[in-house]
């Protein structure tokens, strides 16, 4: 008969006190912890791309992990810089002229609105005054906008740097994390996280597919509507689709401004197109493509996006699907199959770190 050692109440109190302190510091540092988590998650997602670059061979030379990351960063930054410098410079020039002429074009716009039967009873005088006040106070809004974006850009840069470090030195951090668990449980945890990592890496392919579909569809529709810079705006629509909700708002605002340079009919056309596409993407494309890539039900993906955006806004929505994949794999292994004993090892990716002794 085995005897159970009595629990010391002081240990329970100390444990509860320690948990309380940890939660308090987590609350104080939640912004930093979110950046760290998102960076680590993106490092996992980007690892298949890094491995692909590492497989390139130029003669006898092939890039290491650090060089592969550097090549990806330089190629991405160079492509974006060239695109914004050459493709969008004429668009920004026309937009500056449009904003300069907005006080004169405003009355004409409201006069056209009053000709629409459904909008005749709307009090447009108050709305016109608000638009004029916003135009007059454009400098104040610009300063506030710049201040908010300065903090956002600082967090984005910090996240990029952390992501690079996680990719380069992630093996050591992963090995230290596994060392926190008993030796007899490390193999199972390592294999579980390896499966989760493989599925999370495929999320990037699914997201890239959605970006490509939106970019091509937008460019075709904008060209048919004779919107200026249709191809450049299509590229922007596709790129900004990486950021849920906010990316669409920013890209569509730019498209609407460009369309308004010529006619309000084109503005209505692009808005109708995006409204229809949004319904198709949310109800069919996103669930179908993401389920194919990450093996999650459409309902799970939609719930994950809602929870992620509620918890951490734009960043939470960006990492909602990979996080849902991680939780699904871990829960399936330890909650659904808790009694399951692995008879033979699962195939583990080459990049999976060696377990600590």
Same-domain pairing of 38 and 172: yes
Residue 60 lies in a domain: yes
For position 224, what pLDDT does the model report? 92
Residue 347 lies in a domain: no
Residue 65 lies in a domain: yes
Same-domain pairing of 22 and 64: yes
pLDDT band at 153 (very low <50, low <70, confident <90, very high): confident
* Weakest mean pLDDT among 22-26, 32-36, 189-193, 195-199: 22-26
Report the SS3 class of residue 307: helix
Same-domain pairing of 156 and 290: no
Residue 5 lies in a domain: no
Residue 233 lies in a domain: yes
Tally of domains within the chain? 3
pLDDT band at 349 (very low <50, low <70, confident <90, very high): very low
Same-domain pairing of 122 and 233: no
Average pLDDT over every residue of 306-323:
82
Same-domain pairing of 188 and 225: yes
For position 346, what pLDDT does the model report? 47
pTM: 0.68
pLDDT band at 121 (very low <50, low <70, confident <90, very high): low
Same-domain pairing of 166 and 314: no
Same-domain pairing of 35 and 168: yes
Domain boundary among 119, 154, 180: 180
Same-domain pairing of 101 and 168: no
Closest-CA residue to 255 (of 218, 210, 287, 290): 218
Angle at 192 between CA 186 and CA 197, to 5 degrees: 120
For position 352, what pLDDT does the model report? 43
pLDDT band at 221 (very low <50, low <70, confident <90, very high): very high
Domain boundary among 136, 151, 169: 136
Same-domain pairing of 309 and 334: yes
Same-domain pairing of 217 and 251: yes
> HSE of 27 in the Cβ direction (CA atoms, 13 Å)?
6
Residue 346 lies in a domain: no
Residue with tokens 């193999």: 187
Average pLDDT over every residue of 319-324:
86
For position 144, what pLDDT does the model report? 59
User: What are all long-range contacts of 304-309, with beta carbons under 8 Å and residues at least 24 apart?
Assistant: 305/244, 309/244, 309/245
Residue 21 lies in a domain: yes
Structural domain span for residue 300: 184-339
Same-domain pairing of 66 and 169: yes
Residue 100 lies in a domain: yes
Residue-by-residue DSSP string for 175-239: HHHHHTS-HHHHHHHHHHHHHHHHHHHHHHHHHHHHHHHHHHHHHHHHHHTT-TTHHHHHHHHHH
Same-domain pairing of 39 and 152: yes
Domain boundary among 121, 136, 151: 136
Percent of the chain with pLDDT over 90: 4
For position 337, what pLDDT does the model report? 60
pLDDT digits (tens, 9 = 90+) for 253-285: 888 888 877 777 888 899 999 999 888 887 788
């Amino acid at each position: 008969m085995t005897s159970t050692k009595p629990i010391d109440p002081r240990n329970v109190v100390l444990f509860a006190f320690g948990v309380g302190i940890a939660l308090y510091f987590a609350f104080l540092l939640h912004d930093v912890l979110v950046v760290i988590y998102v960076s680590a998650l993106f490092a996992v997602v980007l690892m298949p791309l890094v491995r692909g670059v590492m497989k390139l061979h130029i003669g006898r030379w092939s890039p290491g992990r650090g060089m592969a990351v550097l090549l990806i960063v330089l190629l991405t930054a160079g492509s974006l810089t060239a695109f914004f410098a050459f493709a969008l410079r004429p668009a920004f020039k026309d937009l500056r002229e449009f904003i300069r002429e907005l006080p004169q074009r405003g009355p004409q716009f409201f006069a056209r609105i009053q000709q629409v039967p459904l909008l005749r009873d709307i009090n447009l005088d108050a709305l016109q005054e608000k638009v004029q006040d916003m135009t007059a106070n454009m400098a104040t809004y610009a300063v506030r906008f710049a201040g908010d974006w300065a903090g956002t850009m600082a967090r984005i840069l910090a996240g990029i740097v952390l992501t690079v470090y996680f990719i380069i030195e992630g093996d050591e951090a992963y090995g230290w994390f596994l060392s926190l668990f008993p030796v007899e449980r490390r193999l199972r945890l390592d294999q579980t996280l390896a499966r989760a990592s493989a599925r999370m890496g495929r999320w990037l392919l699914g997201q890239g597919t959605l970006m490509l579909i939106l970019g091509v569809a937008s460019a075709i529709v904008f060209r048919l509507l004779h919107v200026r810079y249709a191809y450049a705006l299509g590229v922007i629509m596709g790129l900004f689709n990486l950021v849920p909700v906010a990316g669409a708002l920013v890209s569509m605002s730019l498209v609407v401004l460009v369309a308004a340079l010529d006619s309000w009919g084109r503005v209505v056309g692009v808005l109708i197109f995006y409204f229809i596409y949004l319904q198709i993407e949310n109800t069919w494309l996103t669930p179908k493509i993401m389920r194919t890539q990450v093996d999650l039900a459409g309902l799970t993906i939609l719930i994950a996006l809602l929870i992620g955006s509620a918890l951490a806004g734009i960043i939470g929505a960006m990492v909602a699907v990979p996080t849902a994949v991680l939780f699904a794999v871990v829960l399936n292994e330890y909650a659904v199959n808790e009694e399951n004993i692995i008879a033979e090892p699962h195939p583990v990716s080459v990049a999976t770190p060696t377990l600590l002794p």
